[in-house]
Structure 1
């Protein structure tokens, strides 16, 4: 048996990747799991080690950090969502700001950037406009459950327990989305439970009730999408009729029959059951129609701050050709279109491109063009020749960043400015290094889109070198 390594009365040093804390020991860096904070004095026990990196758990707290605050959510100990709610908000912002600069300098090897102070979120609770809950017939048990002599249901409707893909804990109240989100989830759970519908089992891909997605908007609209794992028309009709009758505030009601091995639904048919086909998001004098498969930034209030920064960095003066890469439903493209000669949006999801076109039409914007397809296949020399060389490129890729062929096309098209928006500053820094031979990273502006998490959005401005 290997010897268990323990450290006593050590002080947690700092935050690291993915919001974990670290302790820098004489044996190397130790990542500490759990709800700890820099400044905590603790005893730890190493649970696994790889070369100079180790992972440990806390076995005893001696004293708590001054940057701590009381968690507000009853699910804090088991939920992997708002993992930083025990940290004072100003301290959260400091670590996020530091993370951006660390990634730029360590991963991208980028110097000389003007880092602007992070844009704090004014609304720090109930800020999300989209949440997804999972049904399960194998609920995560609490200590009270395990100590109880009474029989109880193993059904649950809630979130995945971190690192346990097959365990769902029952959510009573989530502080991420405004009403009627909690009421809808709880009522749907109770209805399905009372009717005896079979909750989904992810291991066997069996069961009827699979998933529910709730979308709200700053216009007051509400969309609910219920996912079923089996095509049972009678059950589907009962559930959807209940939702329609019970919650008259639901303005858009859909269902999906998903028999795949995972919950992703972009490739599934979303069946419109009742109400409008879209919900509406507003930004300045623009209205955006958001469908069941549409991507829209999940924090509407901070999305507006993000887009204002992107528009400012683009420095448009009515005569530029702008490419908006990974355009989604065309929110950024339409947001900047009135300041440009022409905006070309490219997006992988066909339904999102259809929504982008509808949003342009809805807002009377005639100088946008949207194209659907895999970015690395669509964006090539022939495409640039046909659409015109971009003066400005705005890119907002997924967490994985941009493909090398996309970067190559950007370099060959030589726009004067690139505005790079990212939800993952590590891959953003990697891509910026690939662009740095031809472009200088001038500015970086972090935006806190997700309070009480380690995630940070960042906007970088790149200018063509002389």
Structure 2
């Protein structure tokens, strides 16, 4: 029994229970050492069972009582990801070793995206070497090419990006773009600059070739995303997750709804079809701009993209002004200040989508001062890893 959960103990608990399951032959020869997967050598059924057991215990330990907790499996545990960030460093192309941040597992295949998508990314990296574009060394902070990023939709169309340090020759990068656009499925190629010491696979746009965005069909909507924008990372389960969140919210045509941390509008646009008006609150300007574009593309006129910090937005709302709130925060969760404002505003219902059950439990403890959790379930958006997405539905108690 785990009584104190942290990110480390949660991962260990899932791993320990997965290890008691049935061993299988992993598809990838690097599955036991690569940081992209942790459980590929365990049956997928056992992975889902382990996550269900550990998360049921996590919520119970946190005082979150529900009648039943389930984790909905991914329809396909392979080739599921809509985004992959491959590291380019010291003549290697791949992913970081598990527990060894500075060591890269060189990959010639990867089963988290379709083979054509991996081949396209690797071909771009190989061409970069032929053009004399040096890999980046995270230890010495020298070199140029840091990441090749793959964005992929359900039709296996691809938007690729090269994340680099500052500088670079635009003519050479144009040659690299030509190679990228020649790969199967590639509709666009971006050049992003990350001129910081921070090792992240995002950057300031320098230039793009081909399509600027990638169309992601989700439920009733088509949402366009860019190389930096967030989108749910399981091409097979995203429809189910977003559909369940919208169904749980269940707005009516008289309601004003707040979609917090709304991204490019994947949830908010669906809510707008059923509500009077939806405020889609998003702090990242690029995502807020795309949310506006997506509203126009889908013919939604009662959708109000607001580029603002969630806390600042909530502080400006009168008590009782929002009968329904949907929130999908980053891994840091809502936090005490946002929870305080949610308690003050007093929506009748809150639908809380989370990519981090640990921070969600902390937030739910605070919100239980005025709310009861009526439904809670998990979604295995990241097979072969300890990660899981959840939806909690909260109803006002008084």
Q: Do the structures match in fold with TM over 0.5?
A: yes
2: CA distance, partners of 1:116 / 1:217 = 30
Partner of residue 36, structure 2: 81
Asked which structure has the greater RCO (Cα within 8 Å, sep 6+), the reply is 2
2: CA distance, partners of 1:275 / 1:430 = 44
**TM-score normalised to the size of structure 1?**
0.79
2: CA distance, partners of 1:291 / 1:402 = 25
* Residue among 295, 307, 310 paired with 1:372: 307
Distance 1:340 1:134, change over 3 A: same
Partner of residue 453, structure 1: 385
> Is the 2:370–2:397 Cα contact (8 Å) retained in structure 1?
yes
> Is the 2:131–2:172 Cα contact (8 Å) retained in structure 1?
no
2: CA distance, partners of 1:282 / 1:462 = 28
Partner of residue 165, structure 1: 101
What is the Cα deviation at residue 279 of structure 1? 0.8
Are 1:316 and 2:254 an aligned pair? no
2: CA distance, partners of 1:418 / 1:450 = 25
What is the Cα deviation at residue 250 of structure 1? 1.4
Partner of residue 419, structure 1: 351
2: CA distance, partners of 1:328 / 1:187 = 31
Partner of residue 239, structure 1: 176
2: CA distance, partners of 1:427 / 1:248 = 40
| Mapping for residues 63-462 of structure 1, pairs under 5 Å | 65=20, 67-107=22-62, 109-111=63-65, 113-137=66-90, 155-233=91-169, 234-244=171-181, 246-247=182-183, 249-264=185-200, 268-380=203-315, 382-384=316-318, 389-462=321-394
1: CA distance, partners of 2:13 / 2:369 = 35
> Is the 2:18–2:42 Cα contact (8 Å) retained in structure 1?
no
> Is the 2:272–2:303 Cα contact (8 Å) retained in structure 1?
yes
Distance 1:248 1:39, change over 3 A: closer
> Is the 1:128–1:300 Cα contact (8 Å) retained in structure 2?
yes
Partner of residue 17, structure 1: 9
2: CA distance, partners of 1:128 / 1:178 = 9
> Is the 1:281–1:287 Cα contact (8 Å) retained in structure 2?
yes
Compare CA radii of gyration and give the structure with the larger one.
1
User: Where do 5+ consecutive residues of structure 2 fail to align?
Assistant: 1-7
User: Where do 5+ consecutive residues of structure 1 fail to align?
Assistant: 1-15, 23-35, 41-64, 138-154
2: CA distance, partners of 1:18 / 1:80 = 16
> Is the 1:199–1:210 Cα contact (8 Å) retained in structure 2?
yes
Distance 1:235 1:39, change over 3 A: closer
> Is the 1:445–1:459 Cα contact (8 Å) retained in structure 2?
yes
C-alpha RMSD of matched pairs (Å): 2.2
Say which SS state the counterpart of residue 204 (structure 2) adopts.
Answer: coil
CA displacement 1:344-385 (0-9 Å, x = unmatched): 1111101100011111111011111111122222321x2347
What is the Cα deviation at residue 221 of structure 1? 2.4
